[in-house]
Amino acid sequence: MDDTRDTDPRFRHLEKKVGIFVLLMIVGLMVVIFFVGRERDLFTKKYILYATTESGMGFTKGMPVNLSGFKVGRIHELSLDEDAKVRVAIKINKKYQKWIRRGSVTRLLKEGFIGKPVLEITVGNPLKLKFEEGEELPFERIGGFESLVEKARPVLKEVEEIIKYVNNPEGDIKITLNNVRKISSELVSTSKEMSDTIKEIKSTAVQANILLGSLNEDAMPMVGKVDGLLDKALNIVSNVENLSKRLPAITEKTEETIENMRMLSEILAGEGTDLRGLIKDSADVLKDTKELLKGLKGTWPIRLMLPPKEGLRLLPLDGSKIKRK
């Protein structure tokens, strides 16, 4: 048996072949370790900065840290401090330290609305000092759908208050509008009254003319009548005068109302874009999620895990002689 092995040419230089094979394996393994290590930044020099936040929601150990959208490090550790705040230790590649200066802040963002969260560090003021090992970076929590909702909340509240203000029966707008309506109706009736009175004066004057001309004693009561009419006319004139005095105040109120309305439309025009954007974004997110789920459901192997879709079924033909009555 041993003789066969010695003479078989396939086993010639066997040790060398095995040696080369093992060597190649080791070299391959080292290359893999090197590339994986480089990918995971194992061989680069790093330093640690800290950030403190109220809540640890959205943070995970190992979460990437970006600077201008470029990965510069990872979250090294999360811990609670004495005040129950979350202290985030960020491990950053030393070569990016030159951009992390005073003025830099950290923010928790999401890649898109439903993307994975990332911690971003903004570029600091180049004229100011660099953050050194162990220093504390300021933290701002923004981004994602929740933040948009948060942003929209005060706007919606303001809109709600404006609508309430406009609808309030005791409010300026409603009262002013009521006043304007009242004045306009009063003006209509007054002008009608005036025109009737003038007509009456005219006809009375004509009659008086005729009667005065004859200087008849019978004409005297007519003179009295004219006196009464003139008094009435004077009263109306004084009423109109009073009204005209009230008009500047009414005009002022109306102007105020118009100004309020203008402010309201400005607010709506300013924040309206955000609101529209928010609604559109939400609709897009829902649509995308729906499509994503639909796509996932049709994909192997997920579709194998889902219960089979119901199809047309034949009613069972019972193989027994029992009759239902």
Partner 1 sequence: MTESSGRGVRNKGYRYYHQKAAHYVLYFLPCMILLIGCGGRKTVELPEAQKEAVVLHQMAENAINKGRYKVALKIMEDALILHSSIDDRNGEAIDLINIGRIFLRIGQYENAEDRFNRALEIATSDKNDIMLSETYASIGKLHHLRGNNKQAIEVLEMAIGIDRKMGHSMLGSRLNLIGIAFSKEGRYDEASGALKEALKINQGNGLEMEVANSYRNFGDLFFEEKRQQEAKGYFIKALEIDKRRGDSLKIGADLKALADIEIIESNFKDAIPLLERAYKVHLNAGMPELAVENLDRLIATYRELGDEGMVDIYQMERESLIDITERNRND
Q: Name the site residues for partner 1 (rule: CB under 8 A).
A: 8-10, 297-298, 300-301, 303, 309-325
- Of 45 and 324, nearer to partner 1 (C-beta) is 324
- Of 8 and 259, nearer to partner 1 (C-beta) is 8
- Of 221 and 298, nearer to partner 1 (C-beta) is 298
- Of 244 and 320, nearer to partner 1 (C-beta) is 320
Distance CA 141, CA 155 (A): 19
What is the Cα Rg of the chain in Å? 45
The answer to whether the CB of 59 falls within 8 A of the CB of 88 is yes
What is Dmax (Cα atoms) for the chain? 173
Strand pairing category for 70-80 and 86-93: antiparallel
CB of 286 to partner 1, least distance (A): 21
CB of 308 to partner 1, least distance (A): 10
Distance CA 113, CA 76 (A): 25
CB of 294 to partner 1, least distance (A): 10
CB of 16 to partner 1, least distance (A): 16
Reduced to 3 states (helix: H, G, I; strand: E, B; else coil), residue 119 is: strand
Tokens of 110: 């999401």
Helices (H) and strands (E) in the chain, counts: 6, 8
- Of 9 and 224, nearer to partner 1 (C-beta) is 9
CB of 284 to partner 1, least distance (A): 23
CB of 311 to partner 1, least distance (A): 6
CB of 264 to partner 1, least distance (A): 47
Distance CA 60, CA 66 (A): 14
Burial class (CB in 10 A: 0-12, 13-18, 19+), 92: buried
Cβ neighbours of 81 (radius 10 Å): 10
Distance CA 18, CA 24 (A): 10
- Of 45 and 309, nearer to partner 1 (C-beta) is 309
Strand pairing category for 64-67 and 70-80: antiparallel
- Of 12 and 95, nearer to partner 1 (C-beta) is 12
CB of 317 to partner 1, least distance (A): 5
Distance CA 218, CA 225 (A): 13
Cβ neighbours of 268 (radius 10 Å): 15
Which amino acid, residue 148?
L
- Of 269 and 304, nearer to partner 1 (C-beta) is 304
CB of 312 to partner 1, least distance (A): 5
- Of 7 and 214, nearer to partner 1 (C-beta) is 7
Partner residues linked to 106 by β-bridges = 121, 139
Within a 13 Å sphere around the CA of 205, how many CA atoms are in the beta-carbon half?
7
